[in-house]
Amino acid sequence: MDPTAKTTPYTSPDTPQPRRFSRRAKIIGGLLALLLLAGTGWLAWYLTRPAAEGAAGPGGRRGAPSTTVGVATAEAASIPVVIEALGTVTPQATVRVRPQVSGVMEKVLFKEGQMVKAGDLLATIDPRQFEMALMQASGQRLRDEAQLDSARVTLQRFRTLLEQDSIARQEVDTQAALVKQLEGTVTINKANEGTARLNLGYTRVVAPISGRVGLRTVDVGNVVSNSDANGIALITQVTPIDVVFAVPQDRVGELQQNVASGTPMKVTALDRTRTTVLDTGVFASLDNQVDTTTGTVKAKARFTNSKLSLFPSQFVNVRLEVRTIDNAVVVPVTAVRLGATGDYVYVLNPAERTVSLRPVKRGQATAEKIIIASGLKAGEQVITEGADRLSDGSRVALPGDAPAGGRAGQGRRPRPGASAPAGSASVPEAAIPAVPTIAPAPASATQTGTPPSPVAAPQPQGVERPTPAQRQRLLDQVKDDPVALERRKRFLENLDKGEPAALERWQRMKDNMGQRERPAQ
């Protein structure tokens, strides 16, 4: 037997053979699969079509629901150009009062936190030892002055004798030198007396500047000296007071021009929340160099601080008014939006209740207003709220407008068998009036002149409630409008309660949807 020969496995006649499909069967199967996919896609489109049409409403298509927006009018106003920064309150002078002589504290005449003026007596040191030193210096001066007078008289007598050639010139010169020596001694004595008198005056500690006294660090009976680190008191000048803040280096040139021209620049100091004005002052000066770490220059503003609302080392918010732009077109900050091509606003067309996209160029801005340098005129109305759902040509509704359902001819239930006009769109739920519909009175009541009663309105019979899918579809149609979504939820709640008005509205909505979908069938 040849080992290279191929062997065929044995197959029993009863073994089932695999089924083979022809080319035609494969083609037919593929077509059936494509048809199944197309049908599934059409079904998905059909189920989601009402929500998509409702979402396309803000685009401005005819028949789509309007978007409720907020508007504001562009105004011509004067806008100040300001620089805002964080500043530190800095006193013009801070002095720590230290005693100039050593001694026992005899009196403390100030209270903590007291406002004092320059020259006011703050404390006294025991002066007795300094009085004794002054008396000693005065006695030495008097003694030396008497010796000087005697030497001068002797010198004068020697000079007379010298003229008579009765005395040697050497004695005259010696007496003259003695007089000069005594004059020097008297001068030293006068200086010692002045020092003693000055030390006696230092026993009265007075305020060197006007300001507020801090907490005291000594009491009566303490021994004080000029080497004490804490001293007797700390006086800080609070009126006037300065605020130091930093301005960007790009604004230094403009500030220097105003300073050179003598234009005063108003500075306002605000509290931490920027709601309370602490004080108003004027711009004082700029530093002479730029801080390279921050790219700013230190500036100083001066405040009178008459109400003492600014406290030394306090952090405040500074608002510097550099200049004022007059007759500028201003709008709220929320009206200006940024797009791919730049800044733009939506301008309201009051007659058509539509909006137009208008490119603008922005200028200076404040916390609430922004200047429109070009692209907008004073008096035009711009959209400030709800602009996220708008595009050029979108139809809008203002908060004061009447609901669309209140217009004549809208929201009526079509007669049975009547067809909708060609090209008419379905009436949205927001256009249906929310007031209860009064049913017509019986003929007998009409003939007798009895007015119909709203309570007698019959409840519609046989009205099918919306399915869960329809309820979700109704909510999805207005999910982007919070007001309409809340109104739709209340409508469904009234529908669940079986209120006649809600059932009537649901029947009209079903009829309108049936008229819209009938041509597609």
Q: What is the DSSP string of 106-124?
A: EEE---TT-EE-TT-EEEE
pLDDT band at residue 509 under the 50/70/90 scheme: confident
441 SS3 class: coil
pLDDT value at residue 432: 38
Rounded distance, CA 56 to CA 196, Å?
99
Rounded distance, CA 161 to CA 214, Å?
72
Looking only at Cα atoms, what is the longest distance across the chain? 183
Runs of H (alpha helix) within 164-298: 169-202, 252-261
7 SS3 class: coil
Q: Tokens in use for 49?
A: 């079509």
Q: Is the pLDDT of residue 214 over 90?
A: yes
Q: Tokens in use for 340?
A: 């791919």
pTM for the model stands at 0.54
Highest mean pLDDT among 16-20, 60-64, 65-69: 65-69
Q: Tokens in use for 186?
A: 């008297």
Q: Tokens in use for 485?
A: 């979504």
235 SS3 class: strand
Rounded distance, CA 451 to CA 441, Å?
8
For residue range 436-463, list pLDDT tens digits in order: 333 333 433 333 343 443 333 344 445 6
pLDDT value at residue 64: 57
Looking at the DSSP assignment, which residues form a beta bridge with residue 91?
241
Rounded distance, CA 340 to CA 362, Å?
15
Rounded distance, CA 131 to CA 133, Å?
5
Rounded distance, CA 217 to CA 202, Å?
19
For residue range 244-255, list pLDDT tens digits in order: 999 999 999 999
pLDDT value at residue 460: 46
For residue range 334-387, list pLDDT tens digits in order: 999 998 889 999 999 988 889 999 999 988 887 788 999 899 989 999 999 888
Is the bond into 240 cis (omega within 30 degrees of 0)? yes
Q: Is the pLDDT of residue 49 over 90?
A: no
Rounded distance, CA 304 to CA 238, Å?
9
Rounded distance, CA 114 to CA 110, Å?
7
Least confident of 16-30, 187-201, 265-279: 16-30
Q: Which of 391, 408, 402, 390 is nearest to 481 (CA)?
A: 390
For residue range 70-91, list pLDDT tens digits in order: 899 999 988 888 899 999 999 9
pLDDT value at residue 462: 53
Exposure class string for 341-358: b at 16+ Cβ within 10 A, else e: eebbbbbbeeeeebbebb
For residue range 224-240, list pLDDT tens digits in order: 998 888 899 999 999 99
Cα 92–chain centre separation? 30
For the chain, what is the radius of gyration of the CA atoms? Answer: 51
Q: Tokens in use for 44?
A: 């998905």
pLDDT value at residue 327: 86
Rounded distance, CA 504 to CA 104, Å?
101
What is the overall mean pLDDT for the chain?
80
pLDDT band at residue 20 under the 50/70/90 scheme: low
Q: Tokens in use for 363?
A: 């200028």
CA distances from 151 to 160, 162, 207 (A): 14, 16, 47
φ/ψ of residue 410, rounded to 5 = -105, 150
Percent with pLDDT over 90 in the chain: 47
Amino acid at 134: L
pLDDT band at residue 402 under the 50/70/90 scheme: low
C-alpha atoms less than 13 angstroms from C-alpha of 169 in its C-beta half-sphere:
0
Contacts of residue 404, defined as CB under 8 A and 6 or more positions apart, other chains included, come to 65, 66, 397, 410, 428, 430, 431
Q: How many DSSP H helices and E strands does the chain contain?
A: 8, 23
pLDDT value at residue 399: 80
Which long-range contacts link 252-255 to residues 24+ away (Cβ below 8 Å)? Answer: 252/286, 252/290, 252/297, 254/322, 254/323, 255/283, 255/286, 255/299, 255/322
Cα 476–chain centre separation? 37
